[in-house]
Amino acid sequence: MKCIDKGLVIWLTGLPGSGKTTIANKVASILREKRYRVEVIDGDWARKTISLGAGYTREERKMHLHRIAWVARLLARNGVIVICSFVSPYRDVRKMIREIISEEAPFIEVYVKCPLEECIRRDPKGLYKKALRGEIKHFTGISDPYEEPLNPEITVDTVNNSVEENASTIINYLSENFGIDP
């Protein structure tokens, strides 16, 4: 395994169903093939483990993501490439995450761009249907806002580009900016 001196954190943000975790897993797979130490932390896993019981109000999301940022920071400072896949809908919370991580490791914000209509069409977990019926409160994009990043390091488009193309965009950025094998 390749252990880089200082890891980094790749933080994928976007609407539910936009393709964040799919891209995160593809990037992780490519990096693991190149023998890098990689961890993927996604929302579903985190809510079942380190953030058990976390809710979806603005304040609950902030506390949940604060925990995740610290876990990612600890891993990254030990030479791990950490790929986080979270809706993380609020700009101020993403700013807090960036500040926590950037004290010890590079932070790369990746906006996974996908129109709400397409996310609703995909609806892989049936959550949009429930949210539209009012069965889910604080659902991002329906009853809660998603604030698009203003200056992400990378933007990928899951409507016009394939998973492979989007993963390649991220890998190329890592190669150009951090010397990661392309």
Of 88, 102, 162, 168, catalytic: 88
Residue 88 annotated as catalytic: yes
- Picking from 144, 72, 136, the residue whose alpha carbon sits closest to that of residue 103 is 72
Count how many residues are written for the chain: 182
Q: Please identify which residue in the block is written with the tokens 């914000």.
A: 109
- Picking from 22, 27, 21, 33, the residue whose alpha carbon sits closest to that of residue 8 is 27
- Picking from 89, 102, 77, 81, the residue whose alpha carbon sits closest to that of residue 141 is 89
Q: Is the dihedral of CA 53, 39, 94, 17 positive or negative?
A: negative
Q: What is the DSSP string of 34-86?
A: TTB-EEEEEHHHHHHTTTTT---SHHHHHHHHHHHHHHHHHHHTTT-EEEEE-
Could you list the active site residues?
A: 88
